[in-house]
Structure 1
């Protein structure tokens, strides 16, 4: 299968850790310099080979130009994010002016909550998944508390089905019953624990908007993984990170989307405010979304004037706070160029095959030993399969199983209490990687398999 993979050379554009790099001694082949089985792009993507050169170019410019680097060279720092914003917009299905590359995931979640969570006594609830990532819950709860409400009363979640998965019907039902009391909906586009891709976001968005509810997405596990159409879906805002499937490095700069209907040029481009108050232009009041403002969100024509009057940049750029970190931004650029080379359609096509192959091997070789938590329908999942082990013998506790995999050069991750997340990533993973993982997992479980 690898021999006929049209994007198999993508792997050559990344550094794949060797067994020796990871300190692995127990190798079946005895080749310590051989590559490990890295199936952890859902947690941290591998380093693009081009990243080091791009970062070094900016370090060299800093050493030779100093502060003048802001306005000189191939990539002036003052507009460094212009190099990546259009590429990111293409991946998330947005217009370029709807996207900003800035901050980090939870900071950006705090910012979209500031803009869209405007609780009243009648409408103060937040609808979000019960198994939301911990940081999302903390961020949302902090906004609820700052506005004088109890998170345990104001945060509500739809029921999951018997398999622990979300259903569109449950979200719609709760919106029908409680919509008049809900301020915002927050959906994880791909659920971090189960790997479920919430593929019916437009239906939920339409129902929420009918009820006067804003829709926000956490796309941390979705960007670069599954097809996204943020603009066409009409969601109000979204946030994500770039260190997973976009391979921008640990702690990488994040992404931010706000639909143009909230920042369209007729109402906002010329808007201004002082100390958070709306300003009038002529006889008409200008619509201005709530925001926490910073100088990098100001229009470039006024940004360096240091006046105490905020003139917003157009679109999502108006929500930036500070200048983006240059080294993080060019590290992201290295990976985005590879994404652009192949395109999301080709990547998604290979992803479906890789994950389908993983599912097939698990079902044919380890069916009685492994339970797949992720939906079986390909359109309801991304790269990741989440595995539980309900019948582990006492002699093989979960912690020992995970350590055995690591000792044999398998890099995956786990979540409490007993879930291993496995994510074959199309940019750099091969079908051989998938086979090696299942073979090693079978050995760790003490199951004899035939190739």
Structure 2
């Protein structure tokens, strides 16, 4: 597409955008929240916390009303019975991540789920015990992996393998991963990789990663926190063993909301996998017969533990219902146009003070562009915030910007770069 550097062109793109109406489905923060006439922020941090759908309050109110009117009977008699509340969410979530419903469930939170999944899929032996992560993994992933290694009696300094970018580069190269697995694969038990890197925005080829790991009988897990609702990971076809993600970023479910779990169908009926147990991954047909021996459920539901917080699930439902109506194909198509326009405008600045470190190929990135600032000048980020442009600073030198196709516009992108240009010229 041939982009133009003008406000008129940005407005034209918004007029032609078949998803432009979605913006009105969300609460856009304003510089004077108490004043409905306050100026809207330009909000580019859906990669940290998605905005609230306006229908969320209605969905929450439904469950509050059923709780008030039905008490415990809401488990069976609520408009959306609480006992099976997660099942509809699993079906809709499966579409978003490219999985079968039996492979997906909503439960717990991200790092908790990673630990629960590692109970099953990290089974170290004396000779095959190492875990591989990308060197710039999200900190909580590193903490989780290091604690798993220590729990099993291994020293992370010796048993944690890092997949690093090449000298002078920021992006990861699959050839380097292949070399690591070729050299150390007989000692590596698990690959736990961020499918979309939080820092660079790089979307990795999950199918190739799975094939590389499985070539040496390593289990392969993916942290999809920055990918779910953003890119199309096609988890089933990728053949990875498991994945976990949060729902409060691109999935707009609210701060600290529940996470998602994927376990490949090939494990659906494997009752011999070690796992922690609770009454919510017990057979739902006999769950309330308190004296039955543990009978694990098939599929991803077998990694649930406790009965779910319905109010959190109601917020997830509000967002997933929007995704279900629109579909990921349409959202990805707009996302690529937004980042394409954004990238074009950044290059038009022709400044040696900033550069984009996110992959140029739209198929290798989501809606995030990471802008590296020369000399790590965080003041530029602070000045953007002072202009009601909400981006995200990540040490040592990157401003992460995520124009989300659900609620960001092409005019948002143009206005943001216009302010950025003025700020750069002031320096």
TM-score by length of 2: 0.94
- Gapped regions of structure 2 (runs ≥ 5): 1-12
Q: Give the CA deviation at 1:74.
A: 1.7
Aligned residue number for residue 388 of structure 2: 409
Q: Secondary structure at the match of 1:302?
A: coil
Contact 1:366 1:442 in 2 (8 A): no
Q: What is the rounded CA distance, in whole Å, between the counterparts of 1:366 and 1:190 in structure 2?
A: 28
Contact 1:383 1:425 in 2 (8 A): yes
Aligned residue number for residue 177 of structure 2: 171
Q: Secondary structure at the match of 1:303?
A: coil
Aligned residue number for residue 5 of structure 1: 17
Q: What is the rounded CA distance, in whole Å, between the counterparts of 2:93 and 2:350 in structure 1?
A: 39
Q: Deviations over 1:51-81 (max 9, x none)?
A: 0000011011111111111110220111111
Q: Counterparts of 1:14-413 in structure 2 under 5 Å?
A: 14-21=26-33, 33-161=38-166, 162-198=168-204, 200-264=205-269, 268=270, 287-307=271-291, 309-390=293-374, 397-398=377-378, 400-413=379-392
Aligned residue number for residue 422 of structure 1: 401
Alignment length (residue pairs): 414
Q: What is the rounded CA distance, in whole Å, between the counterparts of 2:182 and 2:122 in structure 1?
A: 19
Contact 1:296 1:321 in 2 (8 A): yes
- Gapped regions of structure 1 (runs ≥ 5): 24-30, 269-286
Please give the root-mean-square deviation of Cα atoms over the aligned residues, in Å: 1.6
Q: Give the CA deviation at 1:156.
A: 0.5
2:419 is the alignment partner of 1:440: yes
Q: What is the rounded CA distance, in whole Å, between the counterparts of 2:326 and 2:409 in structure 1?
A: 16
Q: Give the CA deviation at 1:98.
A: 0.7
Q: What is the rounded CA distance, in whole Å, between the counterparts of 1:316 and 1:174 in structure 2?
A: 30
Q: What is the rounded CA distance, in whole Å, between the counterparts of 1:203 and 1:261 in structure 2?
A: 18
Contact 1:22 1:409 in 2 (8 A): no
Q: Secondary structure at the match of 1:288?
A: coil
Q: Secondary structure at the match of 2:105?
A: strand
Q: What is the rounded CA distance, in whole Å, between the counterparts of 1:116 and 1:145 in structure 2?
A: 16
Q: Secondary structure at the match of 1:227?
A: coil
Contact 2:206 2:233 in 1 (8 A): no
Aligned residue number for residue 281 of structure 1: none
